[in-house]
Amino acid sequence: MILLTVTFAAILSLSYTIQTPQRQLGYPLLGNRTREIFIDVFYDNICEVSAANWPLFSQVISQEYLRNTLGVAVHIFPLPYHHNSFFAAWAGEAVIQTDASKYRDYMTYVFKNYDDFISKAVNLTEGEVHQAYAKAVEMSTGIKAQVILDGYKNRDLDLRARLAWKYGCYRGVSGTPTFMVNDVEVPEAGGFNLSQWNSFLRNLLG
Ligand SMILES: *[C@@H]1O[C@H](CO)[C@@H](O)[C@H](O)[C@H]1NC(C)=O
Ligand SMILES: *[C@@H]1O[C@H](CO)[C@@H](O)[C@H](O)[C@H]1NC(C)=O
Ligand SMILES: *[C@@H]1O[C@H](CO)[C@@H](O)[C@H](O)[C@H]1NC(C)=O
């Protein structure tokens, strides 16, 4: 019985451990972690609420008074009930590896067309879903679709997308969008409008 308990405890503790990343996680959207305020945002590429949030958040972070003060990283957290979401994350890793500066265009495009990968994709095979993301990448970034199709055979990119998801779990993320400001979750931030974001951030800046 004790052995069983010890074994179970060992499995449990293992399941809470993720490998040490080779570099800082998240797509560096703005600045870096030396900035006074740093926001980690967890998005699902084909989540309707994430898609609706992005235009506003992108407006928030591009404001002049935050320049050189704010840093932002995007973490992709594919929700299991968005069946094709993990493939969006995987394609995203291929975009980042090929030309990281184009990631934002890819993310924006998929958000705008998220339903192509949800209700319009219910009858697609896995291969057809890969094709659809590869096409989305080409449309939005000019990176050839074949680069993304090859990416779906690349184990390292698969692992990076998995690690991003595991990191979200590790930080206690269970839905998207989730905002962590200076490492602490701000549960209400997903519902902030522009003026609420600004009063929140101005308050932090003092
Ligand atoms: C991080 O940001 C600071 C302040 O904006 C800048 O001086 C520094 O060069 C940046 N570091 C890297 C590695 O980009
Ligand atoms: C998916 O297939 C079902 C069964 O053939 C069909 O009723 C449905 O309209 C299809 N959906 C789409 C979005 O193509
Ligand atoms: C933002 O939300 C607050 C609180 O609900 C509201 O008072 C304010 O009018 C809103 N501002 C804009 C610009 O929508």
Centre of ligand 2 to C-alpha 125, Å, is 13
Q: What is the mean pLDDT of residues 3-11?
A: 53
pLDDT for 203: 97
Centre of ligand 1 to C-alpha 11, Å, is 40
Length of the chain: 206
pLDDT for 18: 82
3-state secondary structure 176-195: CCEEEECCEECHHHHHCCHH
The reported pTM is 0.90
Q: Are 132 and 116 a contacting pair, CB within 8 Å?
A: yes
Lowest model confidence (mean pLDDT) among 16-30, 103-117, 180-194 = 16-30
The answer on pLDDT for 96 being more than 60 is yes
pLDDT for 22: 87
pLDDT band, very low/low/confident/very high, at 17 (cuts 50, 70, 90):
confident
What proportion of the chain, given as a percentage, has pLDDT over 90? Answer: 88
Lowest model confidence (mean pLDDT) among 7-11, 86-90, 97-101, 189-193 = 7-11
Beta carbon of 199 within 6 Å of any ligand 3 atom: no
| 148-181 per-position pLDDT tens digit | 999 999 999 999 999 999 999 999 999 999 999 9
Q: What is the mean pLDDT of the chain?
A: 93
- Domains (ranges, CATH) in the chain? 2-195 (3.40.30.10)
Beta carbon of 119 within 6 Å of any ligand 3 atom: no
Tokens of 45: 């590429």
The answer on pLDDT for 10 being more than 80 is no
Put the strands of the sheet holding 178-181 in their side by side order: 27-30, 70-76, 37-43, 178-181, 184-185
What proportion of the chain, given as a percentage, has pLDDT over 70? Answer: 92
CB count in 10 Å sphere of residue 124: 16
Beta carbon of 34 within 6 Å of any ligand 1 atom: yes
Query: CA-CA distance, 44 to 111, in Å (whole number)?
Result: 9
Give the number of the atom of ligand 2 that is nearest the alpha carbon of residue 123: 1
- Chain centroid to Cα 174, Å, comes to 13
| 48-75 per-position pLDDT tens digit | 999 999 999 999 999 999 999 999 999 9
pLDDT band, very low/low/confident/very high, at 94 (cuts 50, 70, 90):
very high
The answer on pLDDT for 30 being more than 90 is yes
Q: Which candidate, 75, 49, 104, places its Cα nearest to that of 173?
A: 75
pLDDT for 148: 98
